[in-house]
Amino acid sequence: MWPVSARWDPALRHTYRPAYRATVIPPAGSPFSARLLSWSVTADRTSQTRRTLQAVLAPETVRGLMGVTVKGAYLQLDVGIDYGDGSQELIPQGLFRLDSEDTQRPDGGISVQGYGREKVVSDDKFLTPRTERNSSALDLIEMLLLESVPDAVVVRRTTRDAAVPYTTWERERWEAIDGTDASLARAAGVEVWADGRGRFVISDVPTLADPPVWTVDSGAGGVLITLSSSTSTDGVHNVIVATGDASDGSVPVGPVIVQDTNPTSPTRVGGPFGRRVRHYSSPLLRTTDQATTAAHSLLANSLGLSAGLSFTAVPNPALEPGDVVLAAPQGEPPELHIIDRTQLSSSGAMSCDTRSTRTDTGG
């Protein structure tokens, strides 16, 4: 969750005025503020590019290389609260590269679509197969990011790391960084994403052991509007088997087996859920500790997908996918949930998709 003042949460629970700011950063010339007619931002931690933007800018907005263009322009969107006393608190929602522009004539405004900076890195594929080694996976991740976005800030929010043996990636830069079994992030047990300011963040994979950052409650002073739940076993694995594939002839590592052994977990091994196994192999796994760390991160990302919760609530622009919230509908026991996806817009409530490892058995 983006850091906020003590005034933030009480204001969300009472009547307040939303505040927006759009800053266009053109490829030539200086940044300038643009008037927004409408906007929508989706943030999804299960997507390679976490943040996407749909917006309509006022028709008087400057276009071309000095303004809005798909030839290298960016838009920074900030959303928050106008406290009514002359002060505002704005939370960054994303630094978006504008990839489409549609002018609605005569007076309809300029429709734009933009993507977070992961897309910049993803588009910058390797020209030839890339072979690297490094004593630090995090150092190598940072190097690959800065090659594509030299002015980027990289924030490390993890103490996890791993040595990287000689490894070759064919074309996909982002797949070398995160998201595949052969990625540096997977081997180190971390994830890589661009935050609301366009900084690249390297963080641990979120789990329900993380402290909740917000209470989504109903009743007097509550923020919950609607709620629905679903149950599915799609993508759930309670056993991870990690091995190093030793493709260069070195001594293979593993198999290292990590299981859900929580006695209160509905997906525990030895319970009625049974065993659902995922095998994970990577040339980056060279020690038992590396394989164990990677397997634990995969297990954390898999467990709980069976208990999904979708809700709409009073917009809270400070929330980030990966945050843990306490869902407390009136008359029901509160449950911890990890936010996977949020959608904010200028036109209504915030929607969120979450997952949990709640212990009730359904019935």
Question: Is 317 or 104 the better-scoring residue by pLDDT?
Answer: 317
Residue 357 pLDDT level (bands cut at 50, 70, 90): low
39, 55 contact by CB (below 8 A): yes
Which pLDDT belongs to residue 52? 98
Mean pLDDT of 82-107: 91
**What is the average per-residue pLDDT within 135-163?**
94
Bigger pLDDT: 307 vs 332 = 332
Percent of residues, the chain, with pLDDT higher than 90: 58
What CA–CA distance (Å, rounded) separates 296 from 260?
10
pLDDT at 363 over 60: no
- Beta strand 17-25 with 74-82 is antiparallel
Tell me, what's the pLDDT at 362?
33
Residue range 252-300, pLDDT digits in tens: 787 899 999 888 888 889 888 889 998 888 877 778 888 888 888 888 7
Lowest mean pLDDT among 152-156, 208-212, 283-287, 312-316: 283-287
Instruction: Write out pLDDT tens, residues 193-252.
Output: 999 999 999 999 888 888 999 999 988 889 999 988 777 777 788 999 988 876 556 677
For residue 354, which amino acid is it? Answer: T
What is the tens place of the pLDDT at every residue in 42-76? Answer: 999 989 999 999 999 999 999 999 999 999 999 99
Backbone angles phi, psi at 230, to 5 degrees: -145, 155
Three-state SS for 233-290 is CCCCCCEEEEEECCCCCCCCCCCEEEECCCCCCCCCCCCCCCCCEEEEEECCCCCHHH
Q: Give residue 241's pLDDT.
A: 92
Burial class (CB in 10 A: 0-12, 13-18, 19+), 184: buried
Query: What integer pLDDT is reported at residue 248 of this predicted model?
Result: 58
Check pLDDT > 90 for residue 343. yes
| Average per-residue pLDDT for the chain | 89
Report whether pLDDT(360) > 50. Answer: no
Token pair of 337 as six digits:
């949930």
Of 266 and 38, which is predicted with more confidence? 38
- The widest CA-to-CA distance across the chain, in whole angstroms, is 68
| Residues 335, 196: Cα–Cα separation, whole Å | 27
pTM for the full predicted model: 0.83
